[in-house]
Amino acid sequence: MTSPRSIARRAGFGFGKAPKTGLAATVGSHPYLSGAVAGAVVLALTTFVNFRLAAAAERRNPPTGNFVEVDGVRLHYIEEGVGEPLVLLHGNGSMIQDFASSGLINMASKRYRVIAFDRPGFGHSKRPRSRIWTAEAQAELIEAALGKIGVSKAIVLGHSWGCSVAVALALKSPSLVAGLVLASGYYFPTVRADVVTMSGPAIPVFGDAIRYTLSPLLARLMWPLLTRKIFGPGPVPEKFEVGFPKEMTFRPSQIRASSAESALMVPGAFAARNHYAELKMPVAIVAGEEDRLINIDEQSARLHSELPNSTMHPVPGAGHMVHQTAPTAVMAAIEVAASAGALRHGR
């Protein structure tokens, strides 16, 4: 016996679920399109979460110092102590709290007017995209900032990438730099596979996409491995774990700055390598003998051999973060540079 439902279907009447129409039907009938839409939703949610995490990190770690504006760039810095100015320039991916947690600022401020900057794009300093922030461009900015806060001569200390800025500042304005202290620096070009892998977020368009989505997640996952490498062979000290706000380094803005500096690392060394002989002020070179990031013989020892006005301060057992694990050794190098600078200027 034919059922009423069968008769109705033959007559063109439908029963059950209504057929999909419009966008839903289009997406549903194309598996690849469905996957793309789902992926876009995931990326949008990831971007939203990363924005929220970055904002939360900045709320938990507000600026602790002052700001100075130079050519539209707002730089954050802290200042402690009185005496001869000592300028501190941190490495790639870092910020003021690196020096603060190391104890170096506290030690140095007993004798010096210590000025530590968040370099462009790090901590609470801005990094406009209107220019390429080479070591030379940053040196120009730091010089102008120092002028605005009344510093006409200083001992300048750089760590890691900060050494490149310190050297650029000394080459550009030798009358400003009474002495240089270079800790764990990279001075001569070498093949660096890590530079290639770290430079992705600096690539226009592609980099913007990944630094708001995948890069913060990868940075969080890689953080334990990175810190073990830069602090090795010793452990990561508790003072760094407690005092350094690692969540600030996972912000998309700081990831872009870090990636850009990774991309500039080798070209910068290539451009600067023939100008080191122009450094006539005292130069104290500090390096951990067990640095796992930068080869001490290829870099610090070689620079020392090319600069007759330099002193070499190797630190046994120390790695790349020599200012964290051996702040007294770095402080001793500062004293050497300052004393030699004073003698050079008849003070």
User: If you write DSSP's letter for every residue of 39-108 in order, what string do you get?
Assistant: HHHHHHHHHHHHHHHHHHHHHHS---SEEEEETTEEEEEEEE--SEEEEEE--TT--HHHHHHHTHHHHH
List, for residues 226-282, the tens digit of each pLDDT value.
999 999 999 999 999 999 999 999 999 999 999 999 999 999 999 999 999 999 999
Q: In the prediction, which pLDDT does 175 show? A: 97
Q: What is the mean pLDDT of the chain?
A: 89
More confident residue, 30 or 231: 231
Q: Rg of the chain over CA atoms, in angstroms? A: 27
Quickly tell me which residue has 């009447």 as its tokens: 13
Per-residue pLDDT reduced to its tens digit, 154-207: 999 999 999 999 999 999 999 999 999 999 999 999 987 676 666 666 666 666
Class of domain 58-344: alpha beta
- CA dist 56 and 291 (Å) reads 34
β-partners of residue 283 are: 180, 310
User: Quick check: 319 pLDDT over 90?
Assistant: yes
Under DSSP, is residue 312 helix (H, G, I), strand (E, B) or coil? strand
Top-confidence residue, 45 or 132: 132
The per-residue b/e assignment along 165-182, b for 16 or more CB within 10 angstroms, e otherwise, is bbbbbbbebeebbbbbbb
What is the spatial distance between Cα 151 and Cα 143, in angstroms, rounded to a whole number? 9
Q: Which of 190, 181, 167 has the alpha carbon at shortest distance from 267? A: 190
* pLDDT tens-place string over residues 122-152: 999 999 999 999 999 999 999 999 999 999 9
Q: 41-45, 66-70, 74-78, 324-328: lowest mean pLDDT where?
A: 41-45
State the angle between helix axes of 135-148 and 252-272 in degrees (0 to 180), rounded to the nearest 10. Answer: 110
CA distance 302 to 286: 12
Q: Spell out the residues 6+ positions from residue 251 whose beta carbon is closer than 8 angstroms to its own.
A: 53, 54, 57, 58, 216
- The CB-side HSE value for 96 (13 A sphere, CA atoms) comes to 24
Q: Are 187 and 273 in contact (CB under 8 A)?
A: yes
What is the model's pLDDT at position 204? Answer: 67
Query: Six-digit token pair at 243?
Result: 């005092």
The answer to whether the peptide bond before residue 85 is cis (omega within 30 degrees of 0) is no
Asked whether residue 74 carries a pLDDT value surpassing 60, the answer given is yes
Q: How far, in Å, CA of 143 to CA of 169, rounded?
A: 7
